[in-house]
Structure 1
Amino acid sequence: MLRNREFKHFILWFVLLAAVTVILGFTISPAAGILTVTAAAACGALFVLFTRARYRSIARISSQIDLVLHNADHLYIGEADEGELSILHSEITKMTLRIREQNEALKRDKEHLADSLADIAHQLRTPLTSVNLLLSLLANNPSEEERRAFIRESEELLLRMDWLITSLLKLSRLDAGIVVFQSGEIAVDHLVRAALRPFLIPLELRNIALKLDCPDGIVLQGDEAWLSEAIQNILKNCLESAGEHGRVEIRCTDNPLYTGINIRDSGRGFDPEEIPHLFDRYYRGKNPAAAGYGIGLALSRMIITRQGGSITAQNHPLGGAVFTLRFPK
């Protein structure tokens, strides 16, 4: 308390004023002088007691701020008295709570980032190891047929790595908030057909039947390029689930409330406990043979929700899985 310059100045002026008042009191009469001394002493004592209590409260607030800065778990919540100091205490308490929440969020993000980087490194290392093995086999001068098979498999692995790196870059751009979606009127039929174009040959090679029901005239507002990317990731998941001789159905709907796109496959569907986590980043489910990286669906959800839409996944009553995309009017 005595370290405060304002308090020292007040004490100095109070002593000077009290001395002048006491001298004037004794000049008038001894009784007036004694009364002046008593009043000055009482006022000084009350002021010191009040100021010390106030400074103790400020010291408690300062210690709480110091605890928060040093990541301590304890946080003092002061009594709800009225007054400017109590308001300051309340605001600082809110600030410390907010800082604590942000610190916890940053800690979780840091742990998640470390786990994600480890997972990404593992996912990249697996195809790289396979490519190195294939190159070693090619160096042993295999037959022409084996060499073609090794080259084709290497190309597939490199394409998977390219897709993984490209998807991670897109996720990073979306996380950083540097992507600006262009909003325009999109014909849903054209959007779906554009998303299907890269899969036409795989559909034919794997004998997967495609049923498309997208009437003309259905439109939605959004960024066509990014929405096509989102639908492609969903289609990729459905094609992998449908397997050889499977079936994929795409149905577009329109009503006064929203425009919908339903994508269904004839695969095994989802385990019930996996459905809440399907769109979580890097979630690959319990199937050890899953070929995905847990990125495509997370990227699709981010693209769709950032443009005001929604996406859900569930098991279809007749078998397989169905993804439902809705874009409000």
Structure 2
Amino acid sequence: LSGDKALYYRRDIKKQLEKLQWLIETLLKMSKIDAKTAIFHRQQLLAKDILSKAMEPFAIPMELKEQKCVLNCSNEKMFGDDQWTMEAFSNLIKNAMEHTPDGGTIQLIVSENPLYTEVIVQDNGEGITEEDIPYMFERFYKGKNAKPESVGIGLAFARMIITAQNGTISVKNHPDGGACFTVRFYKQII
């Protein structure tokens, strides 16, 4: 193989291995949650810190697609495990990024009331077909608008993490277009 071709194949193999590693790690984590052996350290978290960290891995891919990710929050607090919660939001942000067109916008909107902290992850992509909505959080389910390389576990994994922490997640289409995921983390009872 020529130098350029060999380099291309090495990069492609590396990319495929990274995807396979992510898939195996995610399936193992899902199994731990299923078996109730995953440990969640419930603590008070600052929403903007968790969401900022969850956004970090996507900064370069979003820049390449000229996408914006707007974080609309102040000092709202939520209760959960910082690592697991960040992983759940990373999956939601990744999903939004994949379904947002070049030059599009993803919004993370946080609000708080006496009962719960709510985080909305909204994109301005193509939205979700009505027949797909009831199944979006099912393991290995791929919606009509899914990319061919999609495995169908990211949203299921996010839901598992959120519900394991007594949170809720729902999805609908936004009236102006795009998908709108709503996550609620209920306050700690004192």
Fold-level similarity (TM above 0.5): yes
Give the number of the structure whose residues are more often helix, by fraction.
1
Instruction: Report the Cα distance in structure 2 between the residues aligned to 1:229 and 1:250, rounded to whole angstroms.
Output: 15
Match of 2:135 in 1: 277
Kindly report which structure 2 residues correspond to 1:310-329, keeping only aligned pairs within 5 A, or say none: 310-329=168-187
Match of 2:166 in 1: 308
State the Cα distance separating 1:314 from its structure 2 match. 0.9
Opposite residue 163 of structure 1, the aligned amino acid is W
Match of 2:10 in 1: 151
Q: Number of matched residues?
A: 187
Opposite residue 110 of structure 2, the aligned amino acid is C
Match of 2:73 in 1: 214
Q: 1:184 to 1:288 in 2, by over 3 A?
A: closer
Q: 1:262 to 1:289 in 2, by over 3 A?
A: closer
Opposite residue 187 of structure 1, the aligned amino acid is L
Unaligned stretches of 5+ residues in structure 2: none
Could you report, residue by residue, the CA deviation over 1:167-221 in whole angstroms, capped at 9, with x for unpaired residues? Answer: 1000111111111211111000101011111111111122111211121x21111
Match of 2:81 in 1: 223
Match of 1:66 in 2: none
- Asked if structure 1 preserves the Cα contact closer than 8 Å seen for 2:128 and 2:143, the reply is no
What CA RMSD, in Å, does the superposition of the two structures yield over aligned residues? Answer: 1.4
Runs of 4+ aligned residues of structure 1 deviating over 6 Å after TM superposition are none
Match of 1:264 in 2: 122
Q: 1:145 to 1:206 in 2, by over 3 A?
A: farther
Q: 1:207 to 1:149 in 2, by over 3 A?
A: farther
Instruction: Report the Cα distance in structure 1 between the residues aligned to 2:147 and 2:64, rounded to whole angstroms.
Output: 21
Opposite residue 231 of structure 1, the aligned amino acid is F
Match of 1:190 in 2: 49
Q: 1:321 to 1:287 in 2, by over 3 A?
A: closer
Instruction: Report the Cα distance in structure 1 between the residues aligned to 2:4 and 2:155, rounded to whole angstroms.
Output: 37
Instruction: Report the Cα distance in structure 2 between the residues aligned to 1:245 and 1:157, rounded to whole angstroms.
Output: 27
Instruction: Report the Cα distance in structure 2 between the residues aligned to 1:287 and 1:252, rounded to whole angstroms.
Output: 27
Instruction: Report the Cα distance in structure 1 between the residues aligned to 2:148 and 2:134, rounded to whole angstroms.
Output: 18
TM-score (norm 2): 0.93
- Asked if structure 1 preserves the Cα contact closer than 8 Å seen for 2:159 and 2:169, the reply is yes
State the Cα distance separating 1:312 from its structure 2 match. 0.6
Instruction: Report the Cα distance in structure 1 between the residues aligned to 2:24 and 2:34, rounded to whole angstroms.
Output: 15
Instruction: Report the Cα distance in structure 2 between the residues aligned to 1:149 and 1:206, rounded to whole angstroms.
Output: 22
Unaligned stretches of 5+ residues in structure 1: 1-140
TM-score (norm 1): 0.55
User: Does the residue aligned with 1:220 lie in a helix, a strand or coil?
Assistant: strand
State the Cα distance separating 1:147 from its structure 2 match. 3.1
Q: 1:259 to 1:285 in 2, by over 3 A?
A: same
